[in-house]
Amino acid sequence: MNKNQFDVLARLLALPEHLRDDLYRTHLQGESPATPELAHALEQLRTTDRAIRSAYVTHTPSEFRVVVGHHDTHRKPGSLKLRVGDTVRLVAHSTERWIPVQVTALPASTKDYYRGEILEQRVVGSKFQVGNGVLFGEDQVVTGSYPHKL
């Protein structure tokens, strides 16, 4: 989250002025909050940021690599059964890196996509930010044990 995004969120949440500088420094540097009031404000800020990102920023399936096809013998398309709350990995075309995503909704029909939320940002400067929404197909999910070094 950049300074402008932080300022907008702080105003929306009506955070007291005396907390804003300490809160931004704590968030930016990843330090532990010094007071319970600061800890509560930081949690409120992060929760709201993720909710807004998930609702307004959605990455489409075309941004992720298809990792399974009909020629694959190790896993046929449609054989993976995902549930809400599962953590999956997708490979972004722009970075060729895995992105951990939590499944938030199942497809309503066979023509629809799974919905998810990005859990972690592994590439500095990437457009894929924590909390962003994601649409993806079952054939885009990288399988294997999780978590491990991605």
Handedness of CA 60, 62, 66, 71 (dihedral sign): positive
Buried b (16+ CB within 10 A) or exposed e, 112-148: ebbbbbbbebeeeeeebebbbbbbbbbbbbbeeeeee
pLDDT in the model for residue 148: 41
Q: Percent of the chain, pLDDT > 70?
A: 89
Per the prediction, the chain carries an average pLDDT of 85
Which pTM was predicted?
0.75
Q: Are 19 and 36 in contact (CB under 8 A)?
A: no
Q: What is the pLDDT of residues 64-96, one digit of tens each?
A: 998 876 666 666 667 788 999 999 999 999 989
